[in-house]
Amino acid sequence: MDLKNRSLISITDFSKEEILHILDLAEDFERDQRQQILNTHVVASLFFEPSTRTRLSFESAVQYLGGSIIGFASADTSSVKKGESLKDTILTVSNYSDLIVMRNPLDGSARYASEVSPVPIINAGDGANQHPTQCLLDLYSIRKTQGTLENINIVMVGDLKYGRTVHSLVQALSLFNATFHFVSPDSLKMPSSVKTWVKNAKLEYHQYTDLMEAIPIADILYMTRVQGERFPDPLEYERVKNAYILDNSMLAKSKENMKVLHPLPRVNEINVDVDSNNKAYYFQQAKNGVYVRQALIAAILGLK
Amino acid sequence: MDKKRTELIVSAIRSGTVIDHIPSDKTFQVINMLNLEGTENQVYFGTNLYSDKYISKGIIKISDTFFKEEEISKIALVAPSATLIEIEDYEITKKQKVKAPATVDKIVKCYNPKCVTNTETIPTKFKVISDHKGNMKLSCHYCEKTMAKENIEFY
């Protein structure tokens, strides 16, 4: 399978086979992480807005592969502050690197960057739109903990309206015959465009407001943070921010194979008493992000 | 009787374009969209007219003017029921229902204020899709948000 020079902007850019290929490569990097195959390559990491996990795990992935990384961690330290356009920034940086990893607060910025850039772009988050590498690492974590991606019962909890990770994950898991269970306050329900996606894939979804009702069904309990920064109305945010708080006692009736995932950062939606439960998988999930990103970088640069 | 009255209101044109069967509440929007305010050619229009097919309709006749495919698709976005008739020497040379295009490029502004096309100088691109109720919607190529017909705004 040849993913050389392909950009990854939205998870739907990759077919089921291409997704599985990346997950297989990631498994290889989990077994042997320090494969020095990127020694002669430079990767640019352009983060126009803050990030801990995504930026550091991309940078860690490049370094484990023996590659060099250039870039910036905030728009304040680049010429964007002087009013440089995204196009000019991308064209300039493409002169200095083989691949650009970009996070930008504007929706659609990554697609646009991929159209003007002569080097491939990996979208590390474009505003509220897409975050495909998060989706890949979620898929990796689900396959690793369940042994398969097929026929999973996934319970998604929290901000299903604005949460981009759940939208991409629904699209991706639709390729694998999942059954979806959406738990949210009424004001943060899954958008109809995503539900239409599920219907078109001829799959089932169920909606709940009571988290306890959904927990016993879950193979994967996917918790999300209610993201204050995405709310147009701060009062609405105050009303729903503490809608679902998972604590250890609530997991008593969960299945044996069930794992709790969370894209992190968490605020208070998972109580710290869950951390020591062997069903808590979110820190391992974040670690898996490095293997998946190593796999993606290696595939796009044609090194695997 | 009513039909006859409609014909009396709007005179025939020798050469040019007639846009018929516009929903009445969209007549002025179509006029604005086609920039008819600036034309030096004769323009006749009527709205809230009786129609067999529609409870009330609008009609616009523009002399010596023929529209490009791109402008016709614009009409389809706000008035999908409209009919476009081209006339030369009082004879109809072409009559077609306006057709929503598969894609809409450059003419519509993305409704999402956070879309990159509203910050950078980028020609917009949309796919024309229908939702599960069959309503026409535009899906932005960049931000992937879908926009209802009511929110369409032209540059």
- Does A53 contact B at CB distance below 8 Å? no
Indicate the class that CATH gives domain A11-130+289-300.
alpha beta
**Cα–Cα distance for residue pair B142/B120, rounded to 1 Å:** 12
Chain A residues with CB under 8 Å of B116 CB are: 86, 104, 106-109, 111-112, 126
Total tally of structural domains belonging to chain B? 2
pLDDT at B136 over 60: yes
Tell me the residue range of the domain where B63 lies: 2-97
Q: How far is B112 from chain A (nearest CA, A)?
A: 9
SS3 content of chain A, % helix, strand, coil (to 5): 45, 15, 40
> How confident is the model over B10-31, as pLDDT tens digits?
568 899 999 999 999 999 989 9
Taking the domains of chain A in order of start, what are their residue ranges?
A: 11-130+289-300, 133-286
**How confident is the model at residue B9, as a pLDDT?**
52
CB contacts < 8 A, A to B, total 57
Collapse the DSSP code of A154 into the 3-class scheme (helix H, G, I; strand E, B; otherwise coil) and give the result. Answer: strand
> Given B56, B79, B97, which residue is the final one in a domain?
B97
> How confident is the model over A133-158, as pLDDT tens digits?
999 999 999 999 999 999 999 999 99
- Does A45 contact B at CB distance below 8 Å? no
Given an 8 Å threshold on Cβ–Cβ distance, is A106 in contact with B114? yes
Q: Are residues B118 and B147 in the same domain?
A: yes
Q: Where are the alpha helices (DSSP H) in chain A?
A: 16-31, 53-64, 86-94, 109-116, 132-146, 164-173, 192-200, 211-214, 234-240, 282-300
Q: How far is B97 from chain A (nearest CA, A)?
A: 29
Q: Are residues B70 and B23 in the same domain?
A: yes
Place of tokens 């691109």: B125
Q: Are residues B66 and B26 in the same domain?
A: yes
Q: What CATH number is associated with residue B29? A: 3.30.70.140
**How confident is the model at residue B1, as a pLDDT?**
45
A178: alpha, beta or left? (left if phi > 0; alpha if psi -120 to 50): beta
Decide if domain A133-286 falls under CATH 3.40.50.10860. no
Q: What one-character DSSP code corresponds to residue B110?
A: -
Q: Are B146 and B132 in contact (CB under 8 A)?
A: no
Q: Are residues B91 and B125 in the same domain?
A: no
Q: How does the average pLDDT of chain B come out, rounded?
A: 87
Q: Are residues B78 and B111 in the same domain?
A: no
The low-confidence residues of chain A, meaning pLDDT below 50, are none
Tokens representing B137?
A: 């919607």
Q: Are residues B51 and B82 in the same domain?
A: yes
> Given B97, B121, B137, which residue is the final one in a domain?
B97
pLDDT confidence bin for B8, thresholds 50/70/90: very low
The H or E element that residue B92 is part of is: strand B91-97
